[in-house]
């Protein structure tokens, strides 16, 4: 029943042969991997505005210069990642590049930073999307947490259905946003050319209550650098593209960067040119759209399309996060279940893990994207810096044609992103960046502990130095826990007789009385050749007296034979009935499974199922 419900929601399982068909063309890939980068104009613009407006007209006059600086930074980072895609055509995310060229620890730092960035991208995109629509409909503001969680569940389900399906479905809001937002910007540019003279900020800007300082400008710049998040997603997901993979990925990256640069610079430039000031509980993009388009249908089209692209911007994380966790799991730095491909040919465990962390952040920060932003850029620029530094080493080692120019490009990218990381860390540290600085080392420590555990297990399971035994394994002693005499017990006794002649039935008596004599009589009636033993339990426990009996049997017989526990288990026809049966059997199994070896042997547990109608 549960499987039927699951397949109804996410679709039926797909065969491995369809893996190639599930790959993305450039149209779908742009929709799947670019929403985060394209939609970042919403929260990046908002953060720059909030950072500058406190200095009044003097602060807002730096809107366009800061936007130009961030756009140049975007160009450098995009060019650097185009090099990464060429150098790692099978997928070259920060973790792989840093680990292979800088070492394990730098690679893990990059991986931890990247995973943190993906989680924050998902949370910020959803909460910022809700903020945009709440600007148009303020009545929704008290429900922003529930709205964000609802959007999160929808995107999770889309991704569980498969990457191609999610790329197809999210294409509509992505391209609707591009059409409406770029159309608005082009209209705004024409109006600006007609107007000719920019608005006087001293008239429109509010009164300053903080002086314009270098620290304030750095704070606004670092807040706006969140516009660069999402650029790496394409280099992480090269293998999701149709062949030739790296060529299509590189073209998609170029298209995404051009669109992103135009939208960010255009919206910031128009905001300063027209002297736009956002009202209370309104975003700066909403104020720009209201100024250019009024409050008619076109304004609501822009707002709904911005909500749509911000909602699906989380899809960038859902496309990238599971792939990174799968790579880490394959290297044994994360649980190996994260490497498993699910029914729909996606890393479903990684999708569920990302959903859980994103929901936690949305709830902890009350759905406020502004509170999440300070945590945002540290992880992204840490990953950027390590990736670009790793690429410099990669080109130096490969010495392929043009390696020197490529090294210079990536070295410039590493220098620029590292400088930005220092600026972001300094200006945002007390605002919340300290959390990222603290969390990343903790994640790296967890990675190392998981790897240490897997190495320890591999050592314990290794066959090295263990000569094969030529001595035949002796027939075991079988113990059957008995609660009553029923048809399921017949199968258990018959199976036990087939593997040994030494079978003992044990009844743990938790309520002394006539029931013991009745059960013994029934047992002797059906199985007279099987020894029946009663063990008292003064404290009404089933497992402890049973374990004591097994240990005492080993001590008394001291024959070196293995003790096998055969459990007759009833299998209900419906999963709903499971809670009504087998509680004692489950308790016995859990206790014995975690019990250490006795006399060189581990207790063996054998289930003998009996299916009920």
pLDDT, tens digit, 9 for 90 and up, residues 273-310: 998 888 777 888 889 999 999 888 999 898 888 878 87
Q: Where are the alpha helices (DSSP H) in 137-213?
A: 144-160, 163-195, 201-204
- 164 and 101 in one domain? yes
- 508 and 432 in one domain? no
- 345 and 267 in one domain? yes
- 239 and 388 in one domain? yes
- 422 and 340 in one domain? yes
Here the tokens at position 387 are 């990736």
Q: What is the pLDDT of residue 183?
A: 94
Of 509, 505, 507, nearest in space to 479 by CA: 505
Asked whether 197 and 54 are in contact (CB, 8 A), the reply is: no
Q: What is the DSSP letter of 377?
A: H
Last residue of a domain, one of 456, 487, 512: 456
Question: What are the φ/ψ torsions at residue 75 (nearest 5 degrees)?
Answer: -60, -40
Cα distance between residue 203 and residue 107, in whole Å: 51
Of 410, 418, 553, 412, nearest in space to 478 by CA: 553
Is residue 81 a part of any domain in this protein?
Answer: yes
Q: What is the pLDDT of residue 442?
A: 94
Number of domains in the chain: 2
* Burial class of 436 by CB neighbour count within 10 A (0 to 12, 13 to 18, 19+): buried
- 133 and 218 in one domain? yes
Is residue 151 a part of any domain in this protein?
Answer: yes
- 428 and 386 in one domain? yes
Asked whether 113 and 379 are in contact (CB, 8 A), the reply is: yes
- 323 and 415 in one domain? yes
- 589 and 557 in one domain? yes
Domain span at residue 400 reads: 2-16+39-456
Q: Which residues contact 282 (CB under 8 A, 6 or more apart)?
A: 135
Last residue of a domain, one of 393, 426, 456: 456
Is residue 269 a part of any domain in this protein?
Answer: yes
Q: What is the pLDDT of residue 250?
A: 86
- 314 and 174 in one domain? yes
- Give the predicted TM-score (pTM) of the model: 0.71
- 217 and 254 in one domain? yes
Place of tokens 């479905």: 169
For residue 479, give the H/E element and its range: strand 477-481
CATH number at residue 237: 1.20.1740.10
- 285 and 162 in one domain? yes
Q: What is the pLDDT of residue 95?
A: 85
Q: What is the pLDDT of residue 20?
A: 46
In this prediction, the residues of the chain whose per-residue pLDDT falls under 70 are 1-23, 90-92, 162-169, 342-345, 376, 461-463, 465-473, 557-560, 576-577, 579-582, 596-602
For the CA atoms of the chain, what is the radius of gyration?
Answer: 32
CATH number at residue 520: 3.40.50
For residue 477, give the H/E element and its range: strand 477-481
3-state SS string for 218-286 = HHHHHHHHHHHCCCCHHHHCHHHECCCHHHHHHHHHHHHHHHHHHHHHHHHHHHHHCCCCCCCCCCHHH
Q: What is the DSSP letter of 429?
A: I
Residues 333-361 have pLDDT tens digits of 998 888 877 655 677 888 889 999 999 99
């Amino acid at each position: 029943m549960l499987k039927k419900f699951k397949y109804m929601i996410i679709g039926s399982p797909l065969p491995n042969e369809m893996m190639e068909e599930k790959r993305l063309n450039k149209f779908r890939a742009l929709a799947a991997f670019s929403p985060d980068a394209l939609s970042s104009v919403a929260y990046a613009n908002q953060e720059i505005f909030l950072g500058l407006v406190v200095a009044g007209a003097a602060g807002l006059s730096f809107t366009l210069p800061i936007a130009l600086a961030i756009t140049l930074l975007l160009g450098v980072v995009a060019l650097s990642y185009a090099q990464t895609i060429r150098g790692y055509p099978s997928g070259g995310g920060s973790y792989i590049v840093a680990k292979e060229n800088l070492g394990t620890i730098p690679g893990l730092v990059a991986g931890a930073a990247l995973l943190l960035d993906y989680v924050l991208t998902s949370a910020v995109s959803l909460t910022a999307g809700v903020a945009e629509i709440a600007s148009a409909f303020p009545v929704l503001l008290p429900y922003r947490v529930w709205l964000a969680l609802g959007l999160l569940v929808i995107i999770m389900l889309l991704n569980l259905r498969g990457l191609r399906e999610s790329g197809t479905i999210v294409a509509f809001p992505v391209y609707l946003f591009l059409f409406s937002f770029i159309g608005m910007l082009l209209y705004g540019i024409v109006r600006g050319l007609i107007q000719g003279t920019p608005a006087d900020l001293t008239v429109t800007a509010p009164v300053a209550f903080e002086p314009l300082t270098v620290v304030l400008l750095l704070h606004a710049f670092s807040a706006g650098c969140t516009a660069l998040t999402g650029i790496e997603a394409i280099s992480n997901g090269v293998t999701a593209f149709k062949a030739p993979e790296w060529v299509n990925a590189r073209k998609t990256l170029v298209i995404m960067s051009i669109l992103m640069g135009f939208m960010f610079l255009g919206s910031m430039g128009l905001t300063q040119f027209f002297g736009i000031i956002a009202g209370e509980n309104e975003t700066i993009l909403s104020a720009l759209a209201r100024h250019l388009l009024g409050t008619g249908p076109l304004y609501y089209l822009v707002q709904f399309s911005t909500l749509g692209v911000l909602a699906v911007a989380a899809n960038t994380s859902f496309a990238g996060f599971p792939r990174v966790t799968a790579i880490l799991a394959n290297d044994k730095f994360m649980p190996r279940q994260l490497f498993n491909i699910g029914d729909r040919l996606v890393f479903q465990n990684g999708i569920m893990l990302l959903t859980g962390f994103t929901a936690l952040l949305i709830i902890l920060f009350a759905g406020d994207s502004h509170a999440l932003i300070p945590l945002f850029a540290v992880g992204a620029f840490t990953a950027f810096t390590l990736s670009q530094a790793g690429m410099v080493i990669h080109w130096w080692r490969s010495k392929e044609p043009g390696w020197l120019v490529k090294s210079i490009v990536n070295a410039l990218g590493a220098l620029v992103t590292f400088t930005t990381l220092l600026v972001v860390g300094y200006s945002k540290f007390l605002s919340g960046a300290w959390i990222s600085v603290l969390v990343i080392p903790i994640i790296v420590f967890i990675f190392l502990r998981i790897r240490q555990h897997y190495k320890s297990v591999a050592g314990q399971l290794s066959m090295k130095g263990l000569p094969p035994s030529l001595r035949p394994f002796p027939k075991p002693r079988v113990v059957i826990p008995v609660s009553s005499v029923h048809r399921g017990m017949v199968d258990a006794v018959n199976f036990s007789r087939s593997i040994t002649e030494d079978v003992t039935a044990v009844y743990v008596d938790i309520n002394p009385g006539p029931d013991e004599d009745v059960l013994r009589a029934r047992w002797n009636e059906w199985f007279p050749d099987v020894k029946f033993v009663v063990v008292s339990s003064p404290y009404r426990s089933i497992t402890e007296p049973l374990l004591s009996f097994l240990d005492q049997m080993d001590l008394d017989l001291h024959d070196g034979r293995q003790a096998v526990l055969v459990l007759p288990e009833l299998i209900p026809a419906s999963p709903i009935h499971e809670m009504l049966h087998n509680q004692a059997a489950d308790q016995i199994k859990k206790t014995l499974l975690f019990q250490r070896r006795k006399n060189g042997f581990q207790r063996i547990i054998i289930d003998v199922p009996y299916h009920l109608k």
